[in-house]
Chain A
């Protein structure tokens, strides 16, 4: 083999590797550069904060979704579970007596804890059905999508839970050192997820169980338990996202979070995580969520009608996966 050919091969592999790792980042930077030319408002601090805040609820959901998709699963119930957690938590943090629930203001920790627990409970049901009863994830979580929405409506009497305490609203509207709380929470969740996936035993189990469940099982990994846990993680994070959403709007809406699962899956897929499991990074998901948010924001700034925005998002999802497929073919 001649060296010239070998090194050109090396460059190609390097370029493919770079594209794999940074393709989405380059796309994000490119879109930002274009938008900064198209709109002088885009690069202002206020707008950037706005973009990040908009990305945070979807981002939190998408990070949970990443765990699930890495194990070859899917969680369609996150939007409904977020709404459920929202009303459950809000009912313990409302000063209103006219709401559909007999709510009362409690310590904020109790309200938050109850919301997360509601999410975890829903995730646990999903996880047990998928892992131990072998119900396909698509079907299980489709069922939960409907059931959790029903529970939400039942619990809230179909009415919003308004007048949330200021302490509870803090997680949606407050800030620390000028950084809005939703962004801080998103950042923390990302950091934690990143550490878990890249540096813990459980993270290795997730990748192994998704990459080849049979080999993982033979290697002594409790694949069923791993699969159950990822749905619990996704449910818990959906709970958190639902509460942030309620806190931001000031009241928990029983119809909140409809179709949120689509944006969450989109962020994961755009971020390069394979739907067939075992391959993907939470940093990709972060960038995917940001890209969706930036594109939405840019279209808003340019005054594009929201109907078109959905079309653009659809193209973005399919385009990202097409690029990914093309890359794999060359590799």
Chain B
């Protein structure tokens, strides 16, 4: 069969440094092809060239057997290549239809936008994909999952044959992700080719037909997903044989360090009770919007007190500001690393010190030497790969950025860690290190509450799972009874 896309020997350097030295890729129609690789493997460079955002240094790109050169993104679009980006960029105050046809609105008499036709076309498109979304709704009223689906509809409205999905599930819960996978399956039936980029291996094994692995800017291997094991794939991505994926070394004790009784939040979380023991990792599991993150925000003084008792180490506490929570020994790794985890304008050192400024500045004056040694200590402890601590944190890879966030919190010497999607958007190698850190923290006398949408992660790391549904606790599962089916049964 004629491949939809065939790329050979693609190279690209930036200022003499090769970002991609041998990009190879073949996409067949009616298939989902996973593009795998760690941070810095060259995936993004490869994709930006295929999308016409950057120019290749050498190599060939063929679309349906025809050599092509894309000088700009619109050339790629014209050739039938469309992308659903990781970071969506909707116009919030416009309707779904307006967003889909942005910049190419159907016009009627005297250049007036023909809204009726636009809404009709958009609705037809959405219906054909079985997306249950009205074309007249405003983008700002949609959930993240719905935004993704609109983005897919938009890609298809260009009559795209090749659709690139870059981490499409990174902001989705499991149910929404299933909706997305159903859409992907439908695209496949229609003979489209999908390039699927994701760090989540379970997704790759769930929906992809073929895979290609890049590492250090080079093509490593490709083949059918059915012919490769999970371990083998990880090995190719990371470049070395691996030990246990979930490095779990902690054992819970009987000592209760933290209890919640009847907690409500400003959102719709009602009557949540929970116990946490020293040395324990408890997962809060549930679909997006089940209220998991709201609990963390309330515990960290970011949400208002709507009733409920919090007891820390036997003492009733109120936790009405983040500072109070930090002083009580809590640390909160938020779900949105760029939005609320890091100051991207600042250096690695400043970010590591951000939650510990009081101790680093007796009488209000910063002690530079203490800052330097604090940063050095955390860079060492977490294996943060950075040339020095003065460079902007925005220059680090996702995994290393996440380790900076962890470093920031470990510097406060927390007793209880709240982790909200701690491994989102980080590569397999960094994930393992984060699991190791979590485990060692618990083993060393800490306690962890983790929110995660990744079932594998929950099954791998948690000693106990508290499942949330519609803002309430719907059940609790002990480690020995855990299974994906059991969790999903309680969550949905």
Q: Within A208-264, which residues are at the interface with B (CB < 8 Å)? A: 208, 210-212, 214-222
Contact at B16–A5, with CB atoms within 8 Å?
yes
For A221, list chain B residues within 8 Å (CB). Answer: 323, 354, 357
Stretch binding the partner chain, chosen from B33-41, B62-70, B337-345? B337-345
Contact at A212–B366, with CB atoms within 8 Å?
no
Q: Is A201 an interface residue (CB 8 A)?
A: yes
Could you count the A-B residue pairs with CB atoms below 8 Å apart for me: how many are there? 101
Q: Is B317 an interface residue (CB 8 A)?
A: no
A194 to chain B: closest CB distance in Å? 13
Q: Is A36 an interface residue (CB 8 A)?
A: no
B53 to chain A: closest CB distance in Å? 14
Q: CA A200 – CA B300 in complex, angstroms?
A: 26
Q: Is B361 an interface residue (CB 8 A)?
A: yes
Contact at A201–B364, with CB atoms within 8 Å?
yes
For A6, list chain B residues within 8 Å (CB). Answer: 16-17
For B13, list chain A residues within 8 Å (CB). Answer: 5
Q: Contact string, A263-300, partner B, CB cutoff 8 A, digits 1/0? A: 00000000000100111000000000000000000000
Q: Is B1 an interface residue (CB 8 A)?
A: no
Q: Is A327 an interface residue (CB 8 A)?
A: no
Q: Is A187 an interface residue (CB 8 A)?
A: no
Q: CA A316 – CA B46 in complex, angstroms?
A: 40
Q: Is B150 an interface residue (CB 8 A)?
A: no
For B357, list chain A residues within 8 Å (CB). Answer: 201, 204-205, 221
Q: CA A202 – CA B366 in complex, angstroms?
A: 9
Contact at A211–B16, with CB atoms within 8 Å?
no
Q: Choose among A200, A216, A274 the residue that contacts B343 (Cβ–Cβ < 8 A).
A: A216
Q: Is B88 an interface residue (CB 8 A)?
A: no
Q: Is A2 an interface residue (CB 8 A)?
A: yes
Contact at A279–B361, with CB atoms within 8 Å?
no
For A214, list chain B residues within 8 Å (CB). Answer: 339-340
Q: Is A326 an interface residue (CB 8 A)?
A: no
Q: CA A207 – CA B16 in complex, angstroms?
A: 34
Question: If the complex has contacts A203-B366, A218-B334, A218-B340, are A5 and B300 also in contact, measured as CB distance less than 8 A?
Answer: no
Q: Is B109 an interface residue (CB 8 A)?
A: no
Question: If the complex has contacts A201-B361, A202-B364, A214-B340, are A12 and B15 also in contact, measured as CB distance less than 8 A?
Answer: yes
Q: Is B302 an interface residue (CB 8 A)?
A: yes
Contact at A199–B342, with CB atoms within 8 Å?
no
For B368, list chain A residues within 8 Å (CB). Answer: 199
Q: Within A1-32, which residues are at the interface with B (CB < 8 Å)? A: 1-2, 4-6, 8-9, 12
Contact at B361–A200, with CB atoms within 8 Å?
yes
Q: Contact string, A50-77, partner B, CB cutoff 8 A, digits 1/0? A: 0000000000000000000000000000
For A218, list chain B residues within 8 Å (CB). Answer: 300, 302, 322, 332, 334, 340-341
Which chain B residue lies CB-closest to A223? Answer: B322
Which chain A residue lies CB-closest to B334? Answer: A218
Q: Is B189 an interface residue (CB 8 A)?
A: no
Contact at A5–B350, with CB atoms within 8 Å?
no
Q: Choose among A203, A205, A212, A219 the residue that contacts B345 (Cβ–Cβ < 8 A).
A: A212
Interface residue tally on A, bucketed by range: 20 to 34
Contact at B342–A212, with CB atoms within 8 Å?
yes
Which chain A residue lies CB-closest to B339? Answer: A214
Which of the listed residues B332, B343, B353 has the most CB atoms from chain A within 10 Å of its own CB? B343
Contact at B300–A1, with CB atoms within 8 Å?
no
Q: Choose among B17, B350, B355, B365 the residue that contacts A220 (Cβ–Cβ < 8 A).
A: B355
Contact at A9–B17, with CB atoms within 8 Å?
yes
Question: If the complex has contacts A201-B361, A205-B357, A220-B323, are A211 and B15 also in contact, measured as CB distance less than 8 A?
Answer: no
Contact at B361–A278, with CB atoms within 8 Å?
no
Q: CA A85 – CA B216 in complex, angstroms?
A: 63
For B350, list chain A residues within 8 Å (CB). Answer: 204, 207-208
Question: If the complex has contacts A5-B16, A6-B16, are A217 and B322 also in contact, measured as CB distance less than 8 A?
Answer: yes
Which chain B residue lies CB-closest to A207? Answer: B346
For B24, list chain A residues within 8 Å (CB). Answer: none
Contact at A8–B343, with CB atoms within 8 Å?
no
Q: Contact string, B29-57, partner A, CB cutoff 8 A, digits 1/0? A: 00000000000000000000000000000
For B321, list chain A residues within 8 Å (CB). Answer: 220, 222
For A216, list chain B residues within 8 Å (CB). Answer: 343, 354
B232 to chain A: closest CB distance in Å? 29
Contact at A201–B358, with CB atoms within 8 Å?
yes
B119 to chain A: closest CB distance in Å? 34
Contact at A208–B354, with CB atoms within 8 Å?
yes
A239 to chain B: closest CB distance in Å? 23
For A210, list chain B residues within 8 Å (CB). Answer: 345
Q: Is B234 an interface residue (CB 8 A)?
A: no
Q: CA A328 – CA B357 in complex, angstroms?
A: 29
Q: Is B18 an interface residue (CB 8 A)?
A: yes
Question: If the complex has contacts A5-B15, A8-B16, are A211 and B408 also in contact, measured as CB distance less than 8 A?
Answer: no
B91 to chain A: closest CB distance in Å? 20
Which chain A residue lies CB-closest to B323? Answer: A220
For A212, list chain B residues within 8 Å (CB). Answer: 339-340, 342-345
Which chain B residue lies CB-closest to A274? Answer: B345
For B300, list chain A residues within 8 Å (CB). Answer: 218
Contact at B17–A219, with CB atoms within 8 Å?
no
Q: CA A279 – CA B361 in complex, angstroms?
A: 21
Which of the listed residues B321, B365, B368 has the most CB atoms from chain A within 10 Å of its own CB? B365
Q: CA A1 – CA B15 in complex, angstroms?
A: 11
A190 to chain B: closest CB distance in Å? 18
For A8, list chain B residues within 8 Å (CB). Answer: 15-16
Q: Is B326 an interface residue (CB 8 A)?
A: yes
Question: If the complex has contacts A212-B342, A212-B345, A215-B343, are A199 and B15 also in contact, measured as CB distance less than 8 A?
Answer: no
With A201-B364, A220-B321 already in contact, 15 other A-B pairs whose C-beta atoms are closer than 8 Å = A5-B15, A6-B16, A12-B15, A199-B368, A200-B361, A201-B366, A207-B345, A208-B343, A208-B346, A211-B344, A215-B339, A218-B300, A218-B341, A219-B355, A277-B345
Binding site for B on A (CB under 8 A): 1-2, 4-6, 8-9, 12, 199-205, 207-208, 210-212, 214-222, 274, 277-279
Contacts A/B (CB < 8 Å), 16 sampled: A1-B17, A8-B15, A8-B16, A202-B364, A204-B357, A208-B343, A212-B340, A212-B343, A212-B344, A215-B340, A215-B342, A218-B300, A218-B340, A220-B321, A220-B325, A278-B343
